[in-house]
């Protein structure tokens, strides 16, 4: 009888086959765990948001009353060493002058103050339009929105306001990149700070906004003297401001960024301006997805926008600047130039891929030509989202000088580090 040796190839195959089965089993288990964790996380988020709904409910509230009047307030859970936070609901106005309500937060220093405290009004950037995306509705409203600098401002003795914008967190549609509406929300947050017991604020305030909030800050400053004449605006800071909309939207209309800001523009602007029809400007994928994308939080759809752009899916059929009715709104909502009596700090990164730096340079050029008292701060190798935190110390120092009444050091006589965009 012949002795047959084991087939090594078959043994290797069976070993590999067992390893493959084990790997597939492990992968399946991991997928199930991730699905379960995702479901549990969603249930927890939904439960948290449902618990907040009554605070943000404006049904039956009286629209008539003073701007900035606080309707409701409650403590917000935050980890701060130098102060406390309150979630607030206050009265404000839409761009057409009609009354509405917005939510937000007001942070107050814990250290006593013998003199009235100054106010720093914050305007946040693009976060999505769904109510659950609003900053004041977050479990960690400071960490999740990049506001880690709040504690340092409280240490300086400043009261910090942070509007959500009307329709964002509260019923209605957020007036995204509608400057007058956003400005009303920012400026009325200053009034709200004075109306909140325990803040001990005076009439001196500053504004800082990032990205969309930079757009809001510039409009707020331009309206400050007429809309908020009883207060003194000492200075405005705008980091990576969506200021020069004409060139910004022209350059970004067919990029991944269009999938992030485009849905909000297409939801917001037709709600605020007559004669705008989304069907005029949307591709088939854009038309099918813009409502759901706008209602999602930006952090949840950012990757999807990048993927869509990579596979060649466009959001807009053409640049909005090619259509007269859309172009007129873009021109109207391009940020105004501030007067020489209004100190302005503009900060930008040369590597910003969202608010393109050549558009910020164009705004700076236009503002300087218009006589603005403008100081520019240019950085490199800093992303759009990260810029807010990176420039915070410089912004605080600059605003601190404004509160102290020190002279500015305008940079309009210095060359721009990048060629400005053109419309």
pLDDT at 49 over 80: no
Name the region of 395 (left: φ>0; alpha: ψ -120 to 50; beta: rest). Answer: alpha
Cβ-contact 311, 339 below 8 angstroms:
no
**Total residue length of the chain:** 423
The CATH superfamily of 70-242+336-403 is Alpha/Beta hydrolase fold, catalytic domain (3.40.50.1820)
Average pLDDT over every residue of 75-80: 92
What is the distance in angstroms between the CA of the first residue and the CA of the last residue of the chain?
A: 92
The pLDDT of residue 355 is 98
Lowest mean pLDDT among 43-47, 86-90, 242-246, 302-306: 43-47
What are the angstrom distances between the C-alpha of 307 and each of 23, 107, 228, 312, 314? 28, 38, 44, 9, 11
Q: Averaged over 127-144, what is the pLDDT?
A: 93
Task: Please indicate whether residue 182 or residue 39 has the higher confidence score (pLDDT).
Answer: 182
The fraction of the chain above a pLDDT of 70, given in percent, is: 94
pLDDT at 1: 44
> Which tokens sit at 6?
């084991």
162 burial type by CB count under 10 A (0-12 exposed, 13-18 middle, 19+ buried): buried
Sign of CA dihedral 136, 141, 147, 149: positive
Which helix (H) or strand (E) segment holds residue 45: the answer is: helix 8-56
Instruction: Read off the pLDDT of each residue in 226-251 and give the average, rounded to a whole number.
Output: 98
Q: Is the pLDDT of residue 7 over 60?
A: no
Return phi, psi of residue 344, to 5°: -135, 130
Q: Apex CA 289: angle with CA 284 and CA 291, to 5°?
A: 125
Residue 1 structure tokens? 């009888």
Please state, in angstroms and rounded to a whole number, the distance separating the CA atoms of residues 91 and 87. 14
User: What SS3 class is residue 64?
Assistant: coil
Residue 125 predicted with pLDDT over 90: yes
Got the DSSP string for 111-150?
S--SSPEEEEEEE----BSSGGGSGGGSSSTTGGGT-TTH
pLDDT value of position 29: 80
In the predicted model, what is the mean pLDDT of residues 142-165?
Answer: 96
Region of poorest pLDDT, from 123-132, 299-308, 356-365 = 299-308
| Phi then psi dihedrals of residue 170, to 5 deg | -110, 165
Structure tokens at 406: 């020190």
Q: pLDDT of 21-46, one tens digit each?
A: 777 788 788 777 777 766 666 666 76
Q: What pLDDT, in 10s, does the model give residues 208-234? A: 999 999 999 999 999 999 999 999 999
> Can you give the residue ranges of every domain in the chain?
70-242+336-403, 246-330
d(CA 319, CA 355): 16
Asked if residue 162 lies in contact with residue 147, where contact means CB atoms within 8 angstroms, the answer is yes
- Of 9-18, 79-88, 224-233, 331-340, which range is least confident? 9-18
Look at residues 88, 87, 93 and name the one whose alpha carbon lies nearest to residue 63: 93
Question: Mean pLDDT in the chain?
Answer: 93
Q: What is the pLDDT of residue 14?
A: 47
Residue-wise pLDDT for 250-309, tens only, equals 999 999 999 999 999 999 999 999 999 999 999 999 999 999 999 999 988 889 999 999
The pLDDT confidence band at residue 16, using thresholds 50, 70 and 90, is low
Q: Are 126 and 268 in contact (CB under 8 A)?
A: no
**Is the pLDDT at 2 greater than 60, yes or no?**
no
Structure confidence at residue 283 (pLDDT): 97
Q: Say yes or no to pLDDT of 8 above 60.
A: no
Q: What is the DSSP string of 173-235?
A: ---TT-HHHHHHHHHHHHHHHHHSTT--EEEEEEEEEETHHHHHHHHHHHHHHHHSTTSEEEE
Phi, psi for 176 (deg, rounded to 5): -65, 125
């Amino acid at each position: 009888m012949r002795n047959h040796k084991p087939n090594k190839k078959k043994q290797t195959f069976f070993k590999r086959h067992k390893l493959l089965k084990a790997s597939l089993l492990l992968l399946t288990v991991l997928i199930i765990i991730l699905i379960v964790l995702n479901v549990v996380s969603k249930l927890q988020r939904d439960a948290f948001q449902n618990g907040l709904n009554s605070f943000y409910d404006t049904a039956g509230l009286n629209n008539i009353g003073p701007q900035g009047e606080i309707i409701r307030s409650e403590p917000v859970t935050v980890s701060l060493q130098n102060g406390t936070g309150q979630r607030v609901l206050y009265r404000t106005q839409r761009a057409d002058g009609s009354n509405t309500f917005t939510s937000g937060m007001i942070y107050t220093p814990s250290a006593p103050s013998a003199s009235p405290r100054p106010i720093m009004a914050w305007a946040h950037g693009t976060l999505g339009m769904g109510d659950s995306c609003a900053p004041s509705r977050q479990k960690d409203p400071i960490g999740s929105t990049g506001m880690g600098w709040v504690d340092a401002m409280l240490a300086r003795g400043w009261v910090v306001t942070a509007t959500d914008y009307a329709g964002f967190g509260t019923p209605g549609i957020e007036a995204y990149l509608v400057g007058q509406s956003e400005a009303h929300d920012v400026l009325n947050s200053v009034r709200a700070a004075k109306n909140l017991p325990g803040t001990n604020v005076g009439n001196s305030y500053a504004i800082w906004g990032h990205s969309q909030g930079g757009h809001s800050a510039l409009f707020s400053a331009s309206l400050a003297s007429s809309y908020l004449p009883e207060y003194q605006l000492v200075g405005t800071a705008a980091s990576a401001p969506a200021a020069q909309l004409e060139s910004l939207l022209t350059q970004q209309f067919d990029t991944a960024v269009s999938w992030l800001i485009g849905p909000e523009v297409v939801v917001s602007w037709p709600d605020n301006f007559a004669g705008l029809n989304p069907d005029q400007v949307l591709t088939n994928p854009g038309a099918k997805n813009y409502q759901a994308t706008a209602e999602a939080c930006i952090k949840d759809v950012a990757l999807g926008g990048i993927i869509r752009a990579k596979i060649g899916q466009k959001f807009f059929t053409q640049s909005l600047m090619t259509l007269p009715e859309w172009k007129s709104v873009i021109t109207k909502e391009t940020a105004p130039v501030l007067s020489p009596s209004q100190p302005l700090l503009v900060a930008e990164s040369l590597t910003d891929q969202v608010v393109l730096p050549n558009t910020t340079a164009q705004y700076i050029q236009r503002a300087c030509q218009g006589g603005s008292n403008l100081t520019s701060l240019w950085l490199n190798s800093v992303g759009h989202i990260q810029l807010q935190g990176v420039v915070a110390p410089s912004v605080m120092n600059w605003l601190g000088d404004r509160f102290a009444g020190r002279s500015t050091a305008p940079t309009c006589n210095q060359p721009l580090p990048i060629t400005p965009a053109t419309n």
